[in-house]
A and B are shown apart, each in its own frame.
Chain A
Amino acid sequence: MAILLLGFLALCIRLAQVDPEALINGLPRLLNWAAKAWPPLLIDLDAFALRGLETVAIATVGTVVATLLAFPLSVFIARNVTPSPALSLPVRWAVNAFRGIDTVVFALLFVAAVGLGPFAGVLGMIVHSMGVIAKLNAEAIETLPSAPLEAAALSGANRTKIVTYAMLPAVLPNLASVSLYVWEANVRTSTILGIVGAGGIGIEIKAAIDLLDFPKLFTLSVIVLIMVTAIDQFSAWLRRRLV
């Protein structure tokens, strides 16, 4: 078993074309660039901040819409409340497909379909996040204790009533927590969407790298770091308050 694992690892190293020599040769270049990055660029800060806000906006719109679309899907695929066990299987496959293909891939498709800009990023993010949220929501729904739901069914309530009145309040903190978590991840993802032309601060990052403008890259990196940290902290604070 150990030999198999080592063999697999060796194969992977080969396939990944791991080349320490290239790294050693490239390292001085990197250090040289790092040295050139100081002092950071301090003009155009307002334009960069706007791009940063655009990044947060893509993530926020994408996550909110994905959350709304994911809820009915999650009810449909959760084994304990699904209206149709037979149909839930193909829906589950679709959800897994949305989840399995990354936001950036969907964003590339939407750039081709609706043109360059943040809206393509939003659309790509909606499709992928919908899959992620639906899957995580369904898992949260499946862990609910069954007895209160059965009690509701035995009082003569139909499925819609059970789901909205008995299930939703019980699972709501989990659903909100899932969406906040996905929102955090989406803010990080949307910083690179610009590289494929789908809006946000990534556009500036790509331009800076293409022009080897390291002071600008430094400034942009700091903006991304501050933004992502702030969102993470805020979201974590909100999630703590949900329980």
Chain B
Amino acid sequence: MHSLLIETVTKRYGTTLALDDVSFVVDPGEFVALLGPSGAGKSTLFRCVTRLVAPDTGVVRVLGRDMSALGGQELRLARRDVGLIFQQFNLIGRLSAMDNVLAGRMGHASTLRVVLRQFTRADRQLALAALDRVGLLERAGQRADSLSGGQQQRVAIARVLAQQARLLLADEPVSSLDPQSAENVLGILRNIARETGIAVVCALHQVDLARRYADRVVALRGGRKLLDVSVNAFDQNAFQELYGAHPG
């Protein structure tokens, strides 16, 4: 079963064609870089996968489930399998790193436990292991808004690990980080894909980072899929076609 299957997906906003007949699949353990200039349709694609919007035509399947067919409780359960990493981290600033990682357990724990902040021992151990996985165990008690950008993004990764997501969608996860932190974050994401079999789809701007960390590159331009190649086949010409310019 594919972790993610996108089949002939089209999405139109008014007269703008945001996605135009896009198809590709992502398998467990794969790290796919989603490349393309701003407005290429990367965000719309992510919004279709999380069912924030429904595609006009085509099918989105996450772990075999047709996301368009789900609603209410079923949709909530399906969304637990999809972990999101954002450019701006989207942590709860006043909570500790640990509490932010535990937020990843919100979809699994009972409402009463979440309201009372009484997570089970198993949930807490899962959260601690996730923090350890991203190298921030010793920061567990620190307030999220006192961490550096790179550390906050690592907490966000720990959060989706605690969520036990099987597909990670990372939307420009390193765009607001310094180069060193960017490498660190992408390295963690790649290792997670390789070691745990979680599929990672990572929207990126930086072509050289995609080349060094991804297994495969899917490139969008103007809503259309331009490329779907293994990273070794992604060469200079492909870049030129994508951005219509030579790399700087």
**In chain A, residues 146-204, which have Cβ atoms closer than 8 Å to a Cβ of chain B?**
147-148, 150-152, 154-158, 160-162, 164-166, 169-170, 172-173
CA distance A158 to B90 in the complex (A): 18
Q: Which residues from 142 to 160 on chain B have a C-beta closer than 8 Å to any C-beta of chain A?
A: 159-160
Number of A interface residues, CB 8 Å? 20
Please tell me if the beta carbons of A157 and B92 are within 8 angstroms of each other in the complex: no
Contact B106 A152 (CB under 8 A): yes
CB distance A151 to B90 under 8 Å?
Answer: yes
The answer to whether B114 and A165 touch across the interface, beta carbons within 8 angstroms, is yes
Task: Provide the bound-state CA to CA distance between A148 and B89, in Å.
Answer: 8
Interchain CB contact under 8 A, A170 and B106: no
Chain B, Cβ-Cβ closest to A159: B111
For residue B36, CB closer than 8 A to chain A, the reply is no
Interface residues of B toward A: which range? 20 to 34
| Interface assignment of B1: CB less than 8 Å from any CB of chain A | no
Residues in chain A near residue B104, CB distance under 8 A? 155
Contact A147 B90 (CB under 8 A): yes
The reply to whether A170 and B107 contact each other, CB–CB distance below 8 Å, is no
| CA–CA, A172 and B90, complex, Å | 18
Residue of chain B at shortest CB distance from A147: B90
Given contacts A151-B84, A164-B114, A164-B115, A157 and B90 within 8 Å (CB-CB) = no
B93 interface residue per 8 A CB criterion = yes
CB of B116 to closest CB in A, whole Å: 9
Pair A161/B94 contact, Cβ less than 8 Å: no
CB atoms of A170 and B111 under 8 A apart: no
User: B88: CB under 8 A from chain A?
Assistant: yes
Contact for A152 among B52, B88, B99, B103, CB less than 8 A: B103
Interface residues of A in 120-155 (CB under 8 A from B): 147-148, 150-152, 154-155
Query: Distance in Å from the Cβ of A140 to the closest Cβ of chain B?
Result: 14
Docked-complex contact A170 and B117, CB < 8 angstroms: no
- List chain A residues, Cβ under 8 A from B52: 154
| A161 with B111: CB separation less than 8 A | yes
In the complex, the answer to whether B91 meets A156 with C-beta atoms within 8 Å is no
Question: B15-23, B73-81, B128-136, B215-223: which lies at the A interface?
Answer: B73-81
Determine if A158 and B77 form an interchain contact, defined as CB atoms under 8 angstroms apart.
Answer: no
Q: Which residues of chain A come closer than 8 Å to B117, judged between CB atoms? A: 165
Task: Kindly list 19 other residue pairs between chains A and B, CB separation below 8 angstroms, not including A151-B86, A169-B94.
Answer: A148-B92, A152-B103, A152-B106, A154-B79, A155-B79, A155-B80, A155-B103, A155-B160, A155-B163, A156-B76, A156-B108, A157-B103, A157-B106, A157-B107, A158-B76, A161-B114, A162-B106, A165-B115, A173-B94
Which positions in A face B, CB cutoff 8 Å? 147-148, 150-152, 154-158, 160-162, 164-166, 169-170, 172-173
Per CB-CB distance, the 3 closest pairs between chain A and chain B, nearest first, are A156-B107, A157-B106, A156-B80
Q: Which chain B residues have a beta carbon within 8 Å of chain A's beta carbons?
A: 50, 52, 76-77, 79-80, 82-84, 86, 88, 90-95, 99, 103-104, 106-108, 111, 114-115, 117, 159-160, 163
